[in-house]
Amino acid sequence: RRAEFAAMRDLPAITRDNHRIELMINAGLRDDVAALEATGADGIGLFRTEFEFLVSSTLPRRERQLRLYRDILEAAGDRPVIFRTVDIGNDKTLPYINNSDETVEENPALGWRAIRLALEKKALLKVQARALIEGAAGKTLYVMFPMIAEPWEYEQARAVFEKQNAWLAKHDKPRAKRIYYGSMLEVPSLAETLDILLPKLDFLSIGTNDLIQFFFAADRAYPKLAERYDWLSPALLRFLSRIIDQANAAGCKVGICGEMGGRTLTAMALIGLGLKRLSITPVAIGPIKAMIRSLDRDAFAPFIRELVASGASNIGDQLETWAKKHGV
């Protein structure tokens, strides 16, 4: 169906009953930006900035980071890019970050990583903030923070950016025209304080790769547990559905940037549950757009809601049957 997907490149991701879905891509390298043109995606919903840190033998200097961010924004043109601040930690150790006083972690995924590390090694976050704000000179900057477990972490990380922005303004330096701040939701505890967090956010991005491993206590990288890491289980879909409802009710943009958004049936389920933004791997844009353009969302929504409420154990099969019957 390659040719069919290619022909849809410039058509919007809009359901048969006129719901516009934002379809974005995940990226991590300068060269990934070319996939925007190739796929016709609406933007980059997750730019993993740690890639640049992982391929470097020394801490990437501010000038180098600035050039990279500027190049990416230039290549993306009018399309938005959501930069995620560094998600590094003991599972991705960097020789130039001194953690010699730390003991070896038995569970690095649960460890000293991402925003936990960034808020302690503030120089790292400050430098990245300056580079991002200057790199986005005259443009809109979207930035989000990984592994936020409680609202105060988001507030502290945002404050680091706001302070750098104020400094740049005071010294008449080039800087972003406007900054939008978001949080990832990949630690289940954050879902319990959304009432406090949502009013402070410009957008929320659900990172289901990590979220699911913490939700089910099932290592995302361990094949033996693959069946427990279930994208279509009632427990997970109920959980996600509450988060989506709460964000939509608060008028906060909510999207998903985990791998589950790139599979046709799971993406269909999420859209039925009210999600309007997906950030996925570039190769999935074609198939997901085709699904969206053939879906009558309002006809499907009650079906998926009832299915999730009923706790059915065969949601995947039922979705497949529904999709076939309705020409999706």
Please give the residue ranges that form the binding site for ligand PEP (CB under 6 A). 46, 48, 87, 186, 207-210, 257-258
By CB under 5 A, tell whether 261 contacts Mg ion.
no
Minimum CB–partner distance for residue 205 and ligand PEP (Å): 8
Q: In terms of C-beta distances under 8 Å and separation of at least 24 residues, what long-range contacts does 64-70 make, across chains too?
A: 65/127, 65/128, 65/131, 65/132, 65/135, 66/130, 66/131, 66/134, 66/135, 67/135, 68/30, 68/131, 68/135, 69/131, 69/132, 69/135, 69/136, 70/135, 70/136, 70/137
Question: Residues 210, 254, 272, 273: which binds Mg ion (CB under 5 A)?
Answer: 210
Minimum CB–partner distance for residue 259 and ligand PEP (Å): 7
By CB under 5 A, tell whether 182 contacts Mg ion.
no
Tokens matching residue 253: 């943009």
Max distance between CA atoms of the chain, in angstroms, equals 62
Smaller CB separation from ligand PEP, 40 or 207 = 207
- Alpha-carbon distance of 138 to 140, in angstroms, equals 7
- Alpha-carbon distance of 227 to 216, in angstroms, equals 11
Which partner from the list Mg ion, ligand PEP, none does 22 bind, CB cut-off 5 to 8 Å by kind?
A: none
Chain position carrying tokens 């690095």: 108
Within a 10 A sphere around the Cβ of 143, how many other Cβ atoms? 25
Which partner from the list Mg ion, ligand PEP, none does 258 bind, CB cut-off 5 to 8 Å by kind?
A: ligand PEP
By CB under 5 A, tell whether 45 contacts Mg ion.
no
Smaller CB separation from ligand PEP, 33 or 295 = 33
Minimum CB–partner distance for residue 229 and Mg ion (Å): 14
Tokens matching residue 109: 């995924």
Stretch of 35-43, 100-108, 123-131, 185-193 contacting Mg ion, by CB under 5 A: 185-193
Which partner from the list ligand PEP, Mg ion, none does 264 bind, CB cut-off 5 to 8 Å by kind?
A: none
Smaller CB separation from Mg ion, 87 or 134 = 87
